[in-house]
Amino acid sequence: MRESDLGAALLDWYDAHHRVMPWRVSPADRAAGARPDPYRIWLSEVMLQQTTVAAVRDYFRRFTERWPTLAALAAAEDGDVMGEWAGLGYYARARNLLKCARAVVERHGGAFPDDHAALLALPGIGPYTAGAIAAIAFDAPETVVDGNVERVMARLFAVQTPLPPAKPELIAHATRLTPTHRPGDHAQAVMDLGATICTPKSPACGICPWMSRCAARAMGIAADLPRKLAKPVKPTRHGIAYVARRADGAWLLERRPDSGLLGGMLGWPGAPWGDTAIAEPPLATDWHDPGMTVRHTFTHFHLCLAVRTAHVPLDARSTTGTFLPHDRFRPADLPTVMRKVFDAASATFGGD
């Protein structure tokens, strides 16, 4: 197969084998005149960063049911959005989600611009997301390169330079293959190819539409690509999480600063995480050490949190945080690590 024929073969395959996703318009519907909603494309792309499609589906459904339009999301309370985001991780994305929605309303009347440069100027939108919105929502001939596309390009052209140094070469290959005809479907087709056939382990080369043109398959090294540099060992940080419950059932919580890890999220009071677990209690009381340690892994480090619990009277006052009434407290609104702390500590409070 000539390189010039790759695009047509891929689109034929995509028309028959595309994945069905709640934010996607099928090739048949697009051919009939339907167009993707830029809001749904943008929301899905932000959610999918560093996360799997399977993990995103339910979050996407809840978000779009609660905030069906970009204007509705822009008008939402920050805490409500952060609560719905809890569990997806990378909470800076949720903060940028709101900033971007509000910027689109303020600068563009609530409609995403179809210009790549204008998309890049919006908060939280980088080259990948701008390219995805432009290509998928507006059918602009922009190149979209995620991990799946990198893997497909590395194998198709037998690129043996390891990632991340190989990124520019892989992007160049993907750019050369990006067509002016149906570029949005082409972008999604390459991603689907990587997700369903050209998988990280045991690629199904025998049913790949690009099988005859794949250089890595011809060399017998498809399963070995892309190569990657060894990742550095993650350090371990330590901290203390103070979980206090007032006599009326209210929980002592604090909202973390907007900047930094878990920014803007609710959590249990404690000190900055470091080499040792040192933290001043948020109030003077008889703190109990139940011998519990919660472990969680972030992108760049492992975390060990020692849990301390306390039952406090109605007149308890804290130097940090506020007491949230029991009927307004939802553990699901907490980020994953803080929810782990709650799950560990709840037995101390009778499991309620």
As a whole number of angstroms, the distance between CA 265 and CA 91 comes to 8
- Domain containing 270 equals 236-349
- Looking at the structure, tell me whether residues 218 and 270 fall in a common domain: no
Nearest-angstrom CA–CA distance, 256 and 271: 11
How far is Cα 233 from Cα 302, in angstroms, rounded to an integer?
Answer: 10
Burial 104-131 (b: 16+ CB within 10 A, else e): bbeeeeeebbeebebbeebebbeebbbb
Q: Of 195, 224, 253, which residue constitutes the final position of a domain?
A: 224
Q: Does a structural domain hold residue 257?
A: yes
Sequence-ordered strand ranges (E) for 115-226: none
Interatomic CA distance for residues 145 and 50, integer angstroms: 14
The mean pLDDT value for 312-333 works out to 88
List 310's β-bridge partners, or say none: 244
- The pLDDT tens digits for 114-157 are 989 999 999 999 999 999 999 999 999 999 999 999 999 999 99
Say whether pLDDT at 351 is over 60.
no
pLDDT at position 95 is: 87
Q: Is residue 284 part of a domain?
A: yes
Q: Is residue 230 part of a domain?
A: no
Residue 4: pLDDT above 80?
no
Q: Measured between alpha carbons, how far is residue 284 from residues 149, 315, 324, 340, 349 in Å?
A: 55, 12, 18, 24, 19
Does a cis peptide bond (omega within 30 degrees of 0) precede residue 164? yes
Residues 6 or more apart whose Cβ sits within 8 Å of residue 291: none
> What is the pLDDT, as a whole number, of residue 198?
98
The rounded percent of the chain whose pLDDT value lies above 90 is 72
Among candidate residues 3, 45, 106, 169, the one labeled active-site is 45
138 plus 261 within the same structural domain: no
With bands split at pLDDT 50, 70 and 90, how would you rate the model's confidence at 212?
Answer: very high
Q: How far apart (Å, rounded) are the C-alpha atoms in residues 80 and 341?
A: 21
The structural domain count of the chain equals: 2
117 CB contacts (<8 Å, ≥6 apart)?
none
Residue 37, pLDDT score: 96
Domain harbouring 120, CATH code: 1.10.340.30
Go through 253-291 and write b for each residue having 16 or more CB atoms within 10 A of its CB, e for each that does not: bbbbeeeebbebbbbbbbbebeeebebebbbeeebeeee
C-alpha dihedral (258, 260, 265, 269), degrees to nearest 10: -110
Q: What is the mean pLDDT of residues 146-171?
A: 96
Out of 165, 191, 224, pick the residue that ends a domain: 224
The pLDDT-based confidence of 256 (bands split at 50, 70, 90) is confident
| Co-location of 71 and 194 in the same domain | yes
Give the contacts of 12 (CB within 8 A, at least 6 positions apart).
209
Q: Using a cut of 0.75, tell me whether the model's pTM lies above it.
A: yes
The verdict on whether omega for the bond into residue 226 sits within 30 degrees of 0, i.e. cis, is yes
Same domain flag for 80 and 203: yes
102 in a structural domain: yes
CATH number, position 336:
3.90.79.10
88 and 11 share one domain: yes
Are residues 299 and 187 part of one domain? Answer: no
Examine the fold and report which residue of 191, 224, 257 is the final residue of a domain before the chain moves on. Answer: 224
SS3 170: helix
Same domain, 111 and 258: no
In a domain, 229, yes or no: no
Q: Are residues 208 and 340 in the same domain?
A: no
Amino acid 276: pLDDT: 67
User: Do 294 and 314 reside in the same domain of the chain?
Assistant: yes
User: Is position 191 within any domain?
Assistant: yes
Same domain? For 114 and 263 the reply is: no
Task: Report if residue 261 sits inside a domain.
Answer: yes
Contact 61, 22 (CB under 8 A): yes
pLDDT above 80 for 259: no
Q: Is 169 a catalytic residue?
A: no
Q: How far apart are CA 264 and CA 83, in angstroms?
A: 10
* d(C-alpha 120, C-alpha 99), whole Å: 14
Give dist(CA 238, CA 273) in Å, integer: 5
The answer as to whether 231 is a domain residue is no
316 and 217 in a single domain? The answer is no
Same domain? 7 vs 137: yes
